[in-house]
Structure 1
Amino acid sequence: MVALGGIVGSLARYGLAAAIPHAEGGFPWATFLTNVTGCLAIGVLFARLRPQSHPLLRPFLGTGVLGGFTTFSTYAVDTEKLVHVQTHAHLVVAFVYFFGTVAAALLAATLGEWLGRRR
């Protein structure tokens, strides 16, 4: 179930990256949006799942689909590439991207959990 969900999530991530490309040294919006929306969805999902839910639902949706969709490895590579361009503007973009992604993802997961707990 994890592998099947991972296929779905990875294909969705690839589609978003293809739809929103970024130039070298530009802000990687597709990766940023992928990680933030994925964290929001994970927050909602884990707040809404109940103990009586099907036992494969969490591995399929959480670990599989959303784990395959989010991509913190690409986030790390994007940050490294921005740092190595070595111009002041790119270092600022790298700094904003590095810290902004973490802050936005944590906020999104918290918001998702809050939204998921609302009736």
Structure 2
Amino acid sequence: MLVICGGAVGVAARAALTLPFSAGAHPLLLPALTLVINLVGALLLGVVVGALDDRHPRWRSFLGTGVMGGFTTYSAFAVHVVTTGSSAPLVGLLLAAVTIFGGTLAGAVGLALGRRIVDRPGEIESPEEAE
């Protein structure tokens, strides 16, 4: 149920960002928006996974699988690569490469940021460290 609710939030956020530009937009606007959404989503998913460890499975399900899964979109990415690539092959290839490599980099940066959020200097983590 948490994943479904989170997915609804993520889809609504993506729709709010893309629907205003759907009608009469430049042919590259929606692929560019999808690229930005997927890169931001990968970054935020990394933050969620890095910050919320196994002690918070419900929050990870809601925010990670649900919200970020609903916010990002692989299917639109695939369609944009094919449609853009059919008229401008280099642009389609660039879109695919930036999404894949940029998304991987964004996810790694988000993971590091998320881990840093929970790594508070000076905080005692276990009773053994208190001695």
| TM-score interval, smaller chain | 0.7 to 0.9
- 1:51 CA drift (Å): 2.8
How far apart in 2 are the matches of 1:23 and 1:109?
29
Aligned to 1:34: 37
SS of residue paired to 2:69: helix
Instruction: Write out aligned runs for 1:105-116 (5 A).
Output: 105-116=103-114
Normalised to the residue count of structure 2, the TM-score between the two structures is 0.79
| Structure 1 residue ranges without an equivalent (≥5) | none
List structure 1 segments (4+ residues) > 3 angstroms apart after TM superposition. 19-22
Normalised to the residue count of structure 1, the TM-score between the two structures is 0.87
Q: Percent identity?
A: 36
Aligned to 2:100: 102
Aligned to 1:6: 7
8 Å CA contact 1:20, 1:29 repeated in 2: no
> Larger radius of gyration, structure 1 or 2?
2
Which residue identity is paired with 2:3? V
- 1:40 CA drift (Å): 0.3
CA RMSD of the aligned region, Å? 1.5
Larger relative contact order (CA 8 Å, sep ≥ 6): 1
- Count of aligned positions: 113
SS of residue paired to 1:56: helix
Aligned to 2:127: none
| Structure 2 residue ranges without an equivalent (≥5) | 120-131
